[in-house]
Structure 1
Amino acid sequence: MDMAMSMLPWLDQPVLLHSSRDAGNCTMTAEQCAFKSSYWLFWYQADHRYALPTVAFFLVAIGLFTIGRVVSGISSQRIKQHSLLSRIFAGFRFLSYKGWRIRSWNSQSIGMFLLGTVGLVFFLAMTLGPRPYYWPNTKEISYGNSPPIATRTGFMALACMPFLIILSAKANPITALTGISHEKLNIWHNWVAWAMFVLALIHTFPFIVFHIWKGDLVEQWSSGGVWVTGVVAIIAQAWLTFMSIPWIRNRYYEFFKATHFFMAMVFVIFFFFHCDFRMSSWDYFIATAVLYSLSWLYSQCKTYFEHGLRHKARLVPESEYTLRIMIDTQMEWGPGQHVFLRFITCGMHALTAHPFTVCSVPQRDCQNQLVFYVKARGGLTGRLMALARKNPDVQIPVLIDGPYGGIPAGRVDDFDRNLIIGGGAGAGITLALIEDFIRFEVNQTPREMKVIVATRDPGMRAWYIQALEDIAVRHLQQKPVTGLSIHIHETFSENEVQQVETNIKAASKAESIRSKESSKSTRELFNIQFFTGRPDLAAAIQRMADQETVSVGVVVCGPSSMIHDVREAAAVAQKDILSGKPGYAREVWLHNTEHLASVEERDEA
């Protein structure tokens, strides 16, 4: 072991877990020695002064969200009906929902920005608060070769690493504690990455400035070691950070996915060598490896041991733009959850798993079936659609990882009124919630559910009604569903309408009559109405909340523009609750997600 470690490049010998904290005898004056070893400047305790507080900062944030989850979970409906508490919840929800739309981009909420600002203040205070930034070295007196500002930012960047990598895992302890699904934590993965990168830059440049002053910059670089590992690590880190900018990542997603893990591995390896077991630096790598390995092993065990290798995906093109994927399974999941699918026979795509939102619910007395409605675009979804058109009802082997995310357990059942909104391929999630509503409405307190679906796909009407008909057959539904109404808004052009009509005329007369009769019956069962043009979502939310003491749950799944409109309307509703608007709902809750039919199409699902 020792021989193997001694052969590793760029490491001091002998290789240890921790370097010594012995500063040796100070040969300067007593005043100078006291200055050098002061609390915020002493190099041999820098990891304790800067890395540990950074860890504590992240842990406090996680702890607060965990407490919030626990309090919300144990609060009874009677407590939540209290006027003061309703307003407190409305205040927090306003901060969570209110954001802005800038061109085609949705900003984060006010609450996210506030929490991000707290982090910014923390890192600025820890970086710029202690003085001096550079040692007052002269040609005769040297306090050290590591500028204080470089030392502190280096250890703070190191402390960010475990949280950065854990936030990227699908199954992770932060999600387990806070209940926040991994896809919603992804923004924090991105922000922590930027914080760590900026800290790394502030760590790097003072060394360049110092060695230029000292006149040995070329000599230091030529000696290799810490300079080479540091430069490689920061180049890899820059690649990872800039390639994760949303518009770059979404535009070149396949390339991003293929290179991200490789560059992450390069970064961690060279960062490991760069730290060179200084003080407790390698402890952070050990913590990262343990936590990430457990998270990764958990998801792999679910894939290979719980779900196994037996699953096959059946592909059916529902329309020119929509593909239906069906997988028979014994697994359980909840409404709104998603799984990662790895299609074994799709060439290079077999190397990566893609997220898909489940559009069905588990059945009680028969085999479960995962159903996904996918908007076929480029990349994997385009390849799947081409396979389905070439070989109708084709079945291909698939690996399943999940389920993840979804609507918090029991949340939809908690409300008097529910508004479910789906846009584009996000319409599929409404089917799962409709079936869930029908299944649990028997012998329950009467509730109301309104479903609004908006689509630009001329063929959507046919497959959506057929899916509702299948639900009615499964539940032996023979009379209209009490409390349920479905509004379908078709936003395609007149030319596309004419194309649909031409296709209908081309079908056989008998099939056309059977389809119309079935469609009429299904429309009556589910109280379906059709509209042209985009729905007024803000007005729909206001109408649902326009009754005193009711609680309203809103779920939206669709493109980013739709999510912004619903978030904005939900934020307005919180202000009405805060102001005590007469005759208004006591609670308006929102769950939003962009449709995960495929990561590469999130912005236009």
Structure 2
Amino acid sequence: MSFLLTRSSNKTPGLPPPTAAATAYRHTADLLRPKWVFYAIVAYIGLAMIVRFFSAASAFLRLRRLRAATPASEDGAVTRNNKVALRRLPAAGVTAFRSVAYRWKVPLGDWHHMNGLTFFTAVAYMVVLFSFSFTNAAHNDPNLWSNRVSHVASLQWTFVIALSGKNNIISLLTGISYEKLNIMHRIAARSVMVVAWAHGFGRIRIRLVGPDSMKEVHHLLGLVSGIAYLFVFFLSLRPVRKWAYDFFLPTHIVLVLLTIISAYYHSFNFKYYMWSAFVMWAFDRFCRTLHVAYNARVWRYLFLQKNNSTKAEAELFDDDAIRLTFHLPAPWRPGHHVYVTIPAVSRWPLEAHPFSIATHPREQQVNDGNGRRVVLVIRPQGGLTKRLADYLQIGVPRELTLLVDGPYGTPPSVLSYSTVILIAGGTGASYTLSYLLDVINNYKSNSCAARRVVYIWAVKARSNLGWYGGALETALNTAPAGLSIEAHIYVTQHDVDEKASEGSDGGHDAKGSTAPFQFTHGRPDVAKILTDEITSAREDISVGVSGPMEMAMLARKTMNNFGFGSVLRGTASVDAHFEMFTNT
């Protein structure tokens, strides 16, 4: 935020002096238009809350209906007459919305793309922000808009900060995870920067003289805020975040604080516009500190004088993967992730990275109150993970002290779908394995509608199965008989020891024992797998994908082949979720 000002000169060089009516209109617009923009955004959040409510109600009704249906009633081949059924119109409408909102991608050059809903939201936001900031200014007179835009921008800081936090009220109300809201955070912040700098140029055009001269401290603070904001913008561009994330994050925090604090003291009678932004930021930091303290079991040190740190067993595999095993007292759900700081290798206290939890929360709780067992599998890429790999020795477990923040995320539930398809590549199996365990556990307690699960995992070598310590084999071997599970492991590279078994249809783990899944050499044909399952399913399908971008894009493209018309003619409706973490 920059150049927040509420008083101005009344004469602009080159333009006639503003009339009394124009001056009165300016003051009215300065007060009302920022609030109109605020109300428009609140209304949009309210719409998202309504959509969330109906989605939850639909899932509840679907779960109750499918649980009441007997498995025997779903036997037999699926036959369709390919005729339009009007009773399928609601499902077809939902499918059309999903295709346009989530699976249709708007290319933004060669370096980025955005789904349809995010693109529409971004465009709508910028239209509302800029139209309420600059319209109805006769002769483009900055006397009519220069201060107005600063008021509009100042009130937007509430949303900019809220959209950036991992603990924020927008996620709580709408069910949209913070990592998805972060896209809108960047769009909103950059739009506000344009509006704030427009205020600065407007004031320059009016002339900074007399009480409005740059000799005044509040004007100098406005300039500091604007320049800091420009640095925030350039250092948050995708190439910087991608190649120098460890540099971007601390500088981003410092520069944003400098921007907001300078803008706050630059303003006059409208400081209260920014109070909520400070509250949002403090609330997020307080919650994150509370998470870390709770996961570290600080109360045990304060009251029982016991060790309060989170201890993890770290193991480096010879195929360049790391497994962290520790106990987490905080509850979590399948699909959740945690932020981990490792003091032994972290360069600064706030250097934390997100990792998906691979274990299920229903595992047996230990007796000493440490919480439930958590497994994280990490593929070293660079920065903290690369330093951690260098710190460990292959095959030699080592105890590490962790700071754990979380769990986070708003993962969807797959329990109300008849068929669940889980596709993963590499360490993306942490996400899909937790959902497989969730389906199996809930099926045993008759709280799951799933009748069929298709589990696909692409790995470089068979030895990668050791990452999860046999959790996949155990889950498949103990799955109830009524739940149909088809598991395939695709090995994309050949080991010397594996060439002799090439072409085998049998499942064997790394030690040569029989395993409850099939090995296939090569990459999975994601398009064929999805097409076969969608065309043969009787009821709605849930698809979860966690892996490379190419895998996710192919899955989206395939699901778009079964759109409004297909569902109207009897094809199962598909709900999909894609999990991936990047610094971009």
Please confirm whether the aligned pair reaches a TM-score higher than 0.5, indicating the same fold: yes
Q: State the alpha-carbon separation in 1 of the partners of residues 554 and 445 from structure 2.
A: 35
How far apart, in 2, do the equivalents of 1:259 and 1:565 lie? Answer: 36
Matches of 2:380 and 2:39, distance apart in 1: 45
Q: Which of 47, 50, 54 is matched with 1:71 structurally?
A: 54
Q: CA deviation at 1:539?
A: 2.3
Shift in Å at residue 482 of structure 1?
4.1
Tell me what 1:6 maps to.
Answer: none
Determine if the alignment matches structure 1 residue 93 to structure 2 residue 116.
Answer: no
Shift of 1:457: 5.7
Residue type matched to 1:84 in 2? L
Q: Take 2:353 and 2:319, find their aligned partners in 1: how far apart are those partners?
A: 22
- CA separation of 1:518 and 1:457: change in aligned 2, threshold 3 A: closer
Deviations 1:294-326 (CA, angstroms, capped at 9, x unpaired): 232223222213552431121111333211111
SS of 2:324 mapped into structure 1: strand
Which residue, 424, 433, 437 being the options, matches 2:435?
Answer: 433
Q: 1:115 aligns with which of 117, 121, 125?
A: 121
Do the aligned partners of residues 422 and 478 (structure 1) sit closer, same or farther apart at CA in structure 2, a change above 3 Å counting? closer
Aligned AA (2:235): M
Structure 1 stretches of 5 or more lacking a match? 1-9, 13-18, 24-28, 136-145, 505-514
Which secondary structure does the structure 2 equivalent of 1:572 belong to? coil
Aligned to 1:485: 486
2:520 counterpart of 1:530: yes
Report the CA distance between 1:104 and its aligned residue.
6.5
Q: Does structure 2 conserve the Cα–Cα contact (< 8 Å) formed by 1:454 and 1:489?
A: yes
Q: Structure 1 residues 416, 501: CA separation in 2 closer, same or farther (over 3 Å shift)?
A: closer
Q: Please say if residues 99 and 106 of structure 1, whose CA atoms lie closer than 8 Å, have aligned partners that are also in contact.
A: no
TM-score, structure 1 normalization: 0.79
Decide whether aligned partners of structure 1 residues 450 and 31 sit closer, same or farther in structure 2, where only a CA change above 3 A counts: closer
Instruction: Calculate the aligned-residue CA RMSD, in Å.
Output: 3.3
Q: Does 1:261 align with 2:263?
A: no
- Contact 2:454/2:487 (<8 A) preserved: yes
Aligned to 2:41: 58
Select 2:264's aligned residue among 257, 264, 272: 272
* Per-residue CA distance 1:177-225 (angstroms, 9 max, x = gap): 00111111110111101110111122121222332xx8x59x9665142
Structure 2: distance between partners of 1:254 and 1:228? 31
Deviation at 1:535, TM superposition (A): 2.2
Out of 514, 521, 530, the position equivalent to 2:514 is 521
1:293 positional shift: 2.0
1:405 matched to 2:398? The reply is no
Shift of 1:382: 0.8
**Structure 1 counterpart of 2:546, from 534, 538, 557:** 557
Cα distance between partner residues in 1 of 2:384 and 2:174: 32
Structural mapping, 1:3-402, within 5 Å = 32-38=19-25, 41-42=26-27, 45-75=28-58, 76-77=61-62, 82-96=87-101, 97-100=103-106, 105-132=111-138, 134-135=140-141, 147-211=143-207, 222-275=214-267, 277-278=268-269, 281-305=270-294, 307-308=296-297, 309-367=308-366, 368-389=372-393, 392-402=396-406
Q: 1:126 to 1:103 in 2, by over 3 A?
A: closer
- The answer to whether the 8 A contact 1:342-1:398 is kept is yes
Instruction: Report the Cα offset of residue 105 of structure 1.
Output: 4.2
Cα distance per residue 1:522-562 (max 9 Å; x no partner): 2xx3x333231x32222222211113641100011122222
Q: Once the two structures are superposed, what CA deviation does each residue of 1:334-360 show, in whole Å capped at 9, x if it has no partner? A: 111101112122241433222111111
Cα distance in 1 between the residues matched to 2:343 and 2:278: 28
Cα distance in 1 between the residues matched to 2:350 and 2:519: 43
Aligned to 2:114, the other structure's residue is in SS state: coil
CA contact (8 A) 1:416 1:448 kept: yes
**Superimposed CA distance per residue, residues 154-185 of structure 1 (whole angstroms, 9 cap, x where no aligned partner):** 11111110110111111111111001111111
Secondary structure of the residue that 1:419 maps to in structure 2?
A: strand
Counterpart of 1:210 in structure 2: which amino acid? I
8 Å CA contact 1:554, 1:590 repeated in 2 = yes
SS in 2 for 1:573: coil
Alpha-carbon contact 2:419-2:542 (below 8 Å) kept: yes
| CA-CA distance at 1:267 after TM superposition | 0.6
Asked if structure 2 preserves the Cα contact closer than 8 Å seen for 1:429 and 1:557, the reply is: yes
Deviation at 1:110, TM superposition (A): 1.4
Check conservation: 2:544, 2:576, Cα contact below 8 A. Answer: yes
Q: CA deviation at 1:62?
A: 1.0
TM-score (norm 2): 0.82
Tell me what 1:142 maps to: none
3-state SS of paired residue (1:315) = strand
CA distance, structure 2, for counterparts of residue 113 and residue 466 of structure 1:
42
Whole-angstrom distance in 1 between the partners of 2:18 and 2:229: 40
Does the 8 Å contact 1:335/1:358 carry over to 2? yes
Partner of 1:5: none
Deviations 1:443-467 (A, max 9, x none): 6456111112223467424436834
Higher relative contact order (CA 8 A, sep 6+): 2
Q: CA deviation at 1:59?
A: 0.8
Structure 2's unaligned 5+ residue stretches are 11-15, 67-85, 298-307, 367-371, 502-507
Q: Indicate if the aligned counterparts of 1:232 and 1:267 stay in contact, CA closer than 8 A.
A: yes
SS class of match (1:167): helix
Work out the CA distance in 2 between the residues paired with 1:69 and 1:11: 36
Paired-residue identity, % = 24
| 1:434 Cα offset (Å) | 2.2
How many correspondences in the alignment?
529
Contact 2:106 2:116 in 1 (8 A): no
